[in-house]
Structure 1
Amino acid sequence: MQVICLEEKAFYELVEQVVERLKEKNNVLRDKWVSNEEAMRLLNVKSKTTLQKLRDEGKIRFSQPEKKIILYDTDSINSYLEKNSRDTF
């Protein structure tokens, strides 16, 4: 029998990759509510200030279940991106 040892960080990263692959394989949509970091990645913005501006102007929906936790609606992020897309010539 072979034994494979992984550091804790590597183990959890592997588990996350497996979960993502299973979601993709089974056509499971992404979570409806995402964190600041994921919202910034989806919008391709680098600044939390920009994200806050979009939130404050009502351009993307958010939920604040606790004082320091803000979650963003992926549907509104996708709608915002679609609304601001441009057709090619």
Structure 2
Amino acid sequence: MDVIVIESKAFFALIDQVVEKLEPSKKQLDKWIDGAEAMKILHITSKSTLQKMRDNGEIEYSKVNERTILYNRFSIEEYIESKKFKTF
């Protein structure tokens, strides 16, 4: 049996590094996502609902070409935040 001994300071620094690698951050997430991922984040199943949100200017999008539309992940998150209710 092998025993590894390290100082507590080094141990906690190692733990911090592991947590940092495991936590998703906005820097690691793609800014532009496809419709399927946008619908998943919004918890909707209808493409027409996604189109209505796009047409009403509720979420940002980019039309890359005639058939490809990408959605701004952060504008979707902002939309969800704008719909929250404060509890008493």
Deviation at 1:24? Answer: 4.1
Distance 1:58 1:65 in 2: 17
Distance 1:84 1:25 in 2: 25
Distance 1:71 1:26 in 2: 21
Aligned to 1:64: 63
Q: Unmatched 5+ residue regions in structure 2? A: 1-20
Q: Say whether 1:83 aligns with 2:76.
A: no
Aligned to 2:3: none
For these two proteins, the number of residue pairs brought into alignment is 67
Deviation at 1:29? Answer: 2.6
Percent identity, aligned pairs only, is: 42
Query: Structure 1: which amino acid aligns with 2:37?
Result: E
What is the aligned-residue RMSD (CA, Å)? 1.7
Query: Structure 2: which amino acid aligns with 1:67?
Result: E
Deviation at 1:86? Answer: 1.1
Aligned to 1:73: 72
Distance 1:49 1:26 in 2: 30
Q: How do 1:13-32 residues align onto structure 2 when only pairs under 5 Å count?
A: 24=22, 27=25, 28-32=27-31
- Partner SS, residue 66 of structure 1: coil
Distance 2:46 2:81 in 1: 21
Aligned to 2:10: none
CA deviation string 1:19-59 (max 9, x = no partner): xxxx7457453100000000000000110000000000000
Larger Rg, first or second structure (1 or 2): 2
Aligned to 1:55: 54
Q: 1:24 to 1:67 in 2, by over 3 A?
A: farther
